[in-house]
Structure 1
Amino acid sequence: MTTTSAHRETDARGSNLLEMSWDPITRIVGSLGVYTKIDWPARRVVECHSTSSIFRGYSIFMKGKDPRDAHFITSRICGICGDNHATCSVYAQNMAYGVKPPHLGEWILNLGEAAEYMFDHNIYQENLVGVDYCEKMVAETNPEVLELARNTESPHAGDHGYRTIADIMHALNPIEGEFYREALAMSRLTREMFCLMEGRHVHPSTLYPGGVGTVASVQLFTDYLSRLMRYVEFLKRVVPMHDDLFDFFYQALPGYEEVGRRRVLLGCWGSFNDPAHCDFSYRNMADWGRHMFVTPGVIVDGELVTNDLVDINLGIRILLGSSYYEDWDDQPMFVTTDPLGNPVDRHHPWNQHTIPRPGRRDFDDKYSWVMSPRWFDGTDHLPLDTGGGPIARLWSTALSGLVDIGYVRATGHSVRITLPKTATVGERAYEWAIPRWSNALERNRARTYFQAYAAACALYFAEQALAEVRAGNTRTWEPFDVPQDAVSCGFTEAVRGVLSHHMVIRDGRIANYHPYPPTPWNASVRDVYGTPGPYEDAVQNTPIFENNPPESFKGIDIMRTVRSFDPCLPCGVHMHTGTGRTLQVVHTPHAFTPAG
């Protein structure tokens, strides 16, 4: 159930502000709540606070555990992207144990993670986000837009089969919509693909440090490919359909590029290791990170700042400010220098101490259980976002220009994707070009293109895996020993963005362990410097295009903004504004003496 409140107040400038809240919205890192103040006459959100009301504490109860159990435990952090956590934990363990999996083991893991991206992005885009743009929702929030959609031909109707934009919107209606139901069927295929590689979804049963327990055969990869090609054929309708839909919103609502727009501050930690280059050693991390098939990178104002995973790791800072925790400045540091001798900051995850101090929610002080991850560029603590994952991944990969495997190629300004001939549709080529904005529509568009990117990568991974099997290289696991002491980290991309696990081993046991998934970055709150987190920043600059009056306001532009970040199960959103209440605020003029 979502509790929503609304009331009016007048600010010091005499503006009429409508306070509205949606709490809870989602279930990752506790329950997400969004509290806003809307300047109704100006039709703009002027203030936003993002909250999380549940403490989880994985970093506390991981202490003292056998490090070999880390991936089984941390996969339970999330019931949606648990395999991403298991993968990241395995990467951190590989580094700690000094083990390099056989090539085939890595190709299998890549195939599993590619299937997860396809599964999750598909069901989220079509069955959750798609509802925000469906016929029923648009009819309730912007009926004039639906009328225009009925009279607007779809530019790519020949590719996806929907003559008008309204036909696309109708197909996205929950349950009754043709495309809505088709996407649900596709989610079954992609989940089966995942289970072929990693045994069980969403908590893998065949994933281990040193490789995988999957029994590799030609038949295994044939079963995967038969499903993948059906999904590829589906994508040849998905990509042009979403281009038509999102382009239409720019046309129908001039200025809609401002919805959910924020400064381009993107983080990507890279995904899909290349076993020919990745040895999981910290010393070589910058090199093998750049050989990932999704290139890591920090992007500031559209420019690539670094794609070096060592730099990325050392720049991570965990700040507090508005979070229900005490600082750990007086606590001992676990790590003072990294394995290369670089100094490690006290607020790096390796040195974090989790000291919970619950309290009353106060937007002028502490109001959330989410900390504030930031990336320090040497001058500023940057509130990076993941854009829901795909926009950061594609942007970083495009700018680096390092990926070229036939099916996908990064050009320095775009990513080109080629999907081969399928049962009824010929070869198709798509190009995701770096957009002008990081906003709600472009985050959603990137999610569509990244499904095609993941599918194209999976075709390449399957070819490499089959080549290994046919050459007789069927080993998928390498034995290892657990050291008494180690410092390690794992970097990958969860479905909705950056994921890192940071581990310290002392006397053969976990002494410190901190996982940082994407939602703490996106849903972070105002830090010690007063800098708002990405949800807060994106929402509090958003214009209101919805036509409903306050008493029937649905907040669709705000919901589209939050959902564009893929905050994990936003299907939990329900709204009830009630009748609201009016606050009479009296401002007394004060005497003051101008400076000078």
Structure 2
Amino acid sequence: MVVQTPNGFALDDSGQRIVVDPVTRIEGHMRCEVNVDDEGYIRNAVSTGTMWRGLEVILKGRDPRDAWAFTERICGVCTGTHALTSVRAVEDALEIEIPENANSIRNIMQLNLEIHDHVVHFYHLHALDWVNPVNALRADPKATSELQQAVSPSHPLSSPGYFRDVQNRLKQFVESGQLGLFKNGYWDNPAYLLPPEADLMATTHYLEALDLQKEIVKVHTIFGGKNPHPNWLVGGVPCPINVHSTGAVGAINMERLNLVSSIIEKCDEFNRNVYLPDVIAIGGFYKSWLYGGGLSSKACLAYGDIPEHPNDFSPEQLHLPRGAIIDGDMSTVHDVDVRDPEQIQEFVDHSWYEYAETGKGLHPWDGETQAKFELGPKLKGTRTNIKEIDEGGKYSWIKAPRWRGHAMEVGPLARYVVGYAKGHEEIKDQVDGLLRKMDLPVDALFSTLGRTAARALESEYCGRLQRHFFDKLVANIKNGDESTANVAKWDPSTWPKEAKGVGMTEAPRGALGHWVRIKDGRIENYQCVVPTTWNGSPRDSQGNIGAFEASLMNTKMERPEEPVEILRTLHSFDPCLACSTHVMSPDGEELTTVKVR
């Protein structure tokens, strides 16, 4: 049966049904089912969030100044970004302004997270969808060295001996029968297109990126005390500045600042010498594989982030762009107001929840999350052993957020599409330069490959912004300003009886918002709408499909039983189901009991 969705996709649930569960490498609570026709094309896609969590119900009745510490535990990978969004929401509700230094440090931490997340995503969560490490055993190390020098002549690690050593390490993995990091791949699938030398070069950089990870996160330990889950503070940042100190615990002195500066330089070098060159080189072999565009050419949303000045979130002050594109009209970028109940609403018609009023969308300030686990009549299997989901009924623990009724894609590609459409000078120069190097039209951006490339471009851009805000921080300190926090409204006696606020950021995976209601000094209601909620949403009351589902439509699969193409496209979003599935009871009643034996 063929059904036409309002957002432009023809869904056909006949043909072979393929189930991929779990999908994600980062954490496994995502299931995908597709219908494939006789020619191997995907004609229907169903994305399911299979996990249910309780972070928001835990927050009810708590001190809003502590909310960041709980919401930060939503995810251990995008560490810090939920905390930043939370303190912004509380500051917005209580009308707290932060100092200049706090704004610079928060921006450095967020930009550092963007780079760390993008590097980890590409090399450790996504590269193996394009790169075949087993094929690297057939590579000529000398030819690999020549390829490295052609791709990135400035990278110092490029000798034939260096690549031969890595190849020998890989050989030991394979001959032992234990592929270790590279286990469970479809390594003989013809969907892999790289020659052996490119596979060896990229696999080597996979290992180099592992070493870089431990260096990048030191920025969070310096400013936030630890990683993951660094410390944050309503009113600013918790790290005092004392450039003359040599032993004060937690103080930011010259030694700490010099270390941050050196890490920023390492990030820049890796982006220039490894990450961007690899994306260009690998992408060159996949130029004809331009599937996976989904909603990216139809509907994109970005909240914007990285304010130049503290307490000013107006679009012209944000280094990452804000705006919405709908109906494929790139000539018009719509203003986004997350406070407007007509703009952002969440629907649960196909989610395992229920609202008091069926078919209605709710703004997060008025959000309800009442669990209702029921399966459609066409389900195959049982409640505890599902063989095939019935997408005609409820089928996901993820809600369906919509912007003015539109399913939207969020994330680095959405940010870059919005920025390109707005004429953002640096983003436009980056995109045009990349397309020229790869000899591709602008339309190639709307694809899985484009989504992957946008992350690399953004990582490089964030590296430059890190340097900008570091230099700004140092200059401000030299001018005698060492303030990092505003605690004038720390005492709850200074707060209004009731208040509500919203915090926004652009997390590595996309637009992130936290909405809070405060009453009598305690949290009355707290709602998070996260990037994977946007991208991984099920169908809504009108039948519109979300970004994950849309991205898989009409993709050609080489071997449907080996779903490399499904993984390639879904991994390009870097799904994080831990972030997207929450539960909150507005009345505080017990929702479920879990017994651990």
**Shorter-chain TM-score category?**
0.7 to 0.9
Q: Secondary structure at the match of 1:211?
A: coil
Assess if the C-alpha contact under 8 Å between 1:383 and 1:533 holds in 2: yes
Q: Structure 1 regions of 5+ residues with no counterpart?
A: 1-12, 280-284, 332-344, 404-408, 418-428, 571-596
**Residues 450-465 of structure 1 correspond to what in structure 2 (within 5 A)?**
450-465=458-473
**8 Å contact 1:267–1:498 — kept in the other structure?**
yes
Letter in 1 for 2:392: D
User: Equivalences for 1:552-563 in 2 at 5 Å?
Assistant: 553-563=561-571
Preserved contact between residue 24 and residue 32 of structure 1 (Cα < 8 Å): yes
- Indicate how the Cα distance of structure 1 residues 109 and 462 shifts in structure 2: closer, same or farther if over 3 A, else same: same
Partner Cα distance (1:483, 1:71) in 2:
20
When residues 315 and 431 of structure 1 are mapped into structure 2, their CA distance, relative to the original with a 3 A threshold, is farther
The one of 34, 50, 53 equivalent to 1:53 is: 50
CA separation of 1:436 and 1:313: change in aligned 2, threshold 3 A: farther
Counterpart mapping for 1:342-421 below 5 A: 347-360=362-375, 362-376=390-404, 381-386=405-410, 389-401=411-423, 409-411=426-428, 414=431
For 1:424-456, what per-residue CA distance to the aligned partner results, in whole angstroms no more than 9, with x for missing partners?
Answer: xxxxx9999965442111101111111101100
Q: 1:236 aligns to what SS in structure 2?
A: helix
Output one character per residue of 1:365-384: Cα deviation in whole Å (capped at 9) or x when no partner.
111111101100xxxx1110
Q: 1:292 is matched with which residue? A: 318
Counterpart selection for 1:274 from 308, 319, 323: 308
1:243 aligns with 2:280: yes
User: Amino acid of the residue matched to residue 301 of structure 2?
Assistant: G
Sequence identity (%): 27
Whether contact under 8 Å (1:297, 1:304) holds in the other structure is: no
Tell me the equivalent position of 2:479: 471
Query: Any idea what the Cα deviations from partners look like across 1:228-276, whole Å, max 9, x if unmatched?
Result: 11221122122122112112211xxx4x212454443211111212225
Q: Corresponding residue for 2:556?
A: 543
Please tell me whether the aligned partners of residues 276 and 456 of structure 2 are also in contact (alpha carbons under 8 angstroms): yes
Q: 1:498 aligns with which of 490, 500, 511?
A: 511
Using the alignment, how far apart are the partners of 1:367 and 1:14 within structure 2?
Answer: 18
Question: In the superposition, relative to structure 1, how do residues 346 and 539 fare at CA in structure 2: closer, same or farther (>3 Å)?
Answer: closer
Partner residue of 1:449 out of 443, 457, 464 = 457
Q: Distance in 2 between matches of 1:362 and 1:537?
A: 17
Change (3 A) 1:399 1:187: same
CA drift of 1:492 comes to 0.4
Alpha-carbon shift at residue 193 of structure 1 (Å): 1.9
For the residue of structure 1 that corresponds to 2:305, the secondary structure is coil
Residue number among 323, 327, 332 corresponding to 2:355 in the alignment: 327
Q: Please name the residue that 1:318 is paired with.
A: 346
Question: 2-side partners of 1:68 and 1:15: how far apart?
Answer: 49
Normalised to the residue count of structure 2, the TM-score between the two structures is: 0.75
1:230 aligns with 2:260: no
Aligned to 1:171: 201
Task: Return the offset for 1:503.
Answer: 1.0
Post-superposition offset of 1:202: 2.4
Give 1:218's aligned residue: 254
Structure 1 residues 82, 45: CA separation in 2 closer, same or farther (over 3 Å shift)? same
**Against the structure 1 CA distance between its residues 102 and 266, is the aligned structure 2 distance closer, same or farther, given a 3 Å change threshold?**
same
Corresponding letter in the other structure for 1:91: R
Question: Normalized against structure 1, the TM-score is what?
Answer: 0.75
CA drift of 1:61 comes to: 3.2
> Which residue in the other structure is 2:18 paired with?
20
| Amino acid in the other structure paired with 2:421 | L
Shift of 1:31: 1.1
- 1:74 equivalent to 2:71? Answer yes
* Superimposed CA distance per residue, residues 269-305 of structure 1 (whole angstroms, 9 cap, x where no aligned partner): 11212225x25xxxxx5xx243111111112323442
CA distance in 2, matches of 1:442, 1:471: 43
Structure-2 residue corresponding to 1:425:
none
- CA 505–269 in structure 1, closer or farther in 2 if over 3 Å, else same: same
Instruction: Tell me if the contact between 2:413 and 2:451 (Cα under 8 Å) persists in the aligned partners.
Output: yes
- 1:195 Cα deviation after fit: 1.7
Structure 2 contact 24–571 (Cα < 8 Å) conserved: no
Structure 2: distance between partners of 1:157 and 1:467: 34
Q: How many residues align?
A: 493
Structure 1 counterpart of 2:290, one-letter code: E
**Contact 2:515-2:528 within 8 A present in 1 as well:** yes
Tell me the SS of whatever aligns to 1:35.
strand
Question: Match of 1:188, as an amino acid?
Answer: K
Aligned to 1:265: 299
After the TM superposition, which residues 432-447 of structure 1 pair with which residues of structure 2 at under 5 Å, given as runs? Answer: 435-447=443-455
Counterpart CA distance in 1 for 2:446 and 2:134 is: 24
Q: Deviations over 1:355-412 (max 9, x none)?
A: 1111235322111111101100xxxx111011xx211222323333457xxxxx3559
Query: Which AA in structure 2 matches 1:100?
Result: E
Change (3 A) 1:303 1:541: farther
Relative distance call for 1:364 and 1:398 in structure 2 (3 A) is: closer
**What is the identity, as a one-letter code, of the residue corresponding to 1:43?**
G
Q: Quick one: distance in 2 between partners of 1:61 and 1:401?
A: 43
- Please report how far the alpha carbon of residue 535 of structure 1 lies from its aligned counterpart in structure 2 after TM superposition: 0.9
